[in-house]
Amino acid sequence: MSRLDLVASRGHKGRHDQWALDLPQDAVADGNATVTINGRTRHVISYLEDFLFEPTRARTPIRALSGGERNRLLLARLFTRPANVLVLDEPTNDLDLETLELLEAQLVEWSGTLLLVSHDRVFLDNVITSTFVFEGDGVVQEYVGGYEDWVRQRADAGPVVAGPVVGPTFRSGESPVVGPTFSSGESPVVGPTFRSGVSGASKKLSYREQRELHELPARIEALETEQRTLTHTVAGPDFYKEPAATIAATLERLREIEGELSGLYSRWDALDSRPK
């Protein structure tokens, strides 16, 4: 059973208890005609239109919805639940551009505290407002703003004390939230974001450069996938029981990936800022 199926199976008695037999409007409003969002009562059909559901799709059985529509339906249901703290782990995975923009807008409007784990630097910059960074040797430093703000503030600060590779950064939407950040073991991760907005050369991209720009996202995604896998391995309880050579090779590969990603981000930024 999928996550969406699991959430929907907790519906009220007297109705079908599987997503395949429910309608989006019933799944979001628990069979009611209205929902309350941020203290304001709205008709469920109007609310679902915010999540790109036309009235006819809001009355279409969930079994007939596409994967993207199911993702949007899960988000619509999520934001109807009363809460003042929201925890999201890699929420942008497998989202299309429309759904990603919709999620950003909803999180910016949301009034509670957000704990967010993501490798999408642009998404972080668009949503979060304050960051606490573990910089090694028990030092925790607060930075105002998102990933790019941290890069800019740390660019001239010099190297930090060596520390373990501990995983992605946790950020807060309203109040600061402490969380770890990838460490190279020598210096903080200071590579640029996907799109820094810095203007590059005015020369138009060549055919080879256009092809390179087109291939960069897949190369970055492959490295980030490898990075996540290795980070998960390092965080495991048995990692430091491995032979010393294995531990050293794994940590060295993580450092190499960080350097490679930094170079690819810079190249993407340089190519993307030039005329196509």
Residue 261's domain is classified under what CATH number?
1.10.287.380
Which is higher by pLDDT, 20 or 230?
230
Residues 119 and 178 in one domain: yes
Q: Which of 82, 103, 138 is the C-terminal boundary of a domain? A: 82
Domain boundary among 65, 82, 99: 82
Q: Is the pLDDT of residue 203 over 80?
A: no
Instruction: Give this prediction's pTM.
Output: 0.47
Which domain CATH number covers 180?
Answer: 3.40.50.300
Residue 201 placed within a domain: no
Which residues 6+ apart lie within 8 Å of 64 measured at CB?
A: none
DSSP state for residue 205 in the 8-state scheme: P
Query: pLDDT (tens digit, 9 = 90+) per residue, 94-117?
Result: 788 888 888 888 888 888 888 888
Assess if residue 199 is contained within a domain.
no
Q: Which range (25-39, 67-81, 136-150, 160-174) has the least confidence? A: 160-174
Q: Is the domain of 25 the same as that of 100?
A: no
88 plus 170 within the same structural domain: yes
Q: Is the pLDDT of residue 180 over 90?
A: no
Answer whether residue 67 is part of any domain: yes
Tokens describing residue 113: 């505290």
Whether 198 is covered by a domain: the verdict is no
Token pair 């979001």 in the structure block, residue:
28
Confidence of residue 207 (pLDDT cuts 50, 70, 90): low
Does residue 217 lie in a domain region?
Answer: yes
- Pick the last residue of a domain from 82, 111, 140: 82
**Do 167 and 94 belong together in one domain?**
yes
Helix (H, G, I), strand (E, B) or coil at 257: helix
Calpha distance 62→112 (Å, rounded): 29
* Paired tokens of 155: 């660019």
Whether 23 and 59 have beta carbons less than 8 Å apart is answered as yes
Same domain, 128 and 149: yes
Is 95 a domain residue?
Answer: yes
Does residue 92 register a pLDDT over 90? no
Answer positive or negative: Cα dihedral of 195, 198, 204, 207: negative
Residues 70 and 87 in one domain: no
- Is residue 197 included in any domain, yes or no? no
**Strand 178-179 versus strand 130-134 pairing type:** parallel
The domain containing residue 129 runs over which residues? 83-190
Exposed, middle or buried, 103 (CB in 10 Å: 0-12/13-18/19+)? buried
Split at pLDDT 50, 70, 90, the class of 2 is very low
Q: For residue range 49-83, list pLDDT tens digits in order.
A: 989 899 889 989 998 888 888 889 999 998 898 88
Q: What percent of the chain has pLDDT over 90?
A: 10
**Total of domains in the chain:** 3
Domain co-membership, 59 together with 101: no
Exposure string over 28-50, b if 16+ CB within 10 A, otherwise e: bbeeeeebebeeeebebbebbeb
Check the CA dihedral 72-77-83-87 and report its sign: negative
Strand partners, 117: 89, 170
In this structure, the answer to whether residues 64 and 117 fall within a common structural domain is: no
Q: Assign residue 56 a region (left: φ > 0; alpha: ψ between -120 and 50; beta: otherwise).
A: alpha
106 and 63, same structural domain?
no
Distances in Å between the alpha carbon of 268 and those of 6, 125, 202? 39, 17, 15
User: Following CA atoms 173, 176, 178, 182 in sequence, which dihedral angle do they give, to the nearest 10 degrees?
Assistant: 60
Same domain, 154 and 57: no
Q: Indicate whether 72 and 89 sit together in one domain.
A: no
| 225 and 264 co-located in one domain | yes
Whether residue 40 lies inside any domain: the answer is yes
Beta strands in the chain (DSSP E): 34-37, 40-43, 85-89, 113-117, 130-134, 140-144, 170-172, 178-179
CA 160 to CA 187: how far, in whole Å? 5
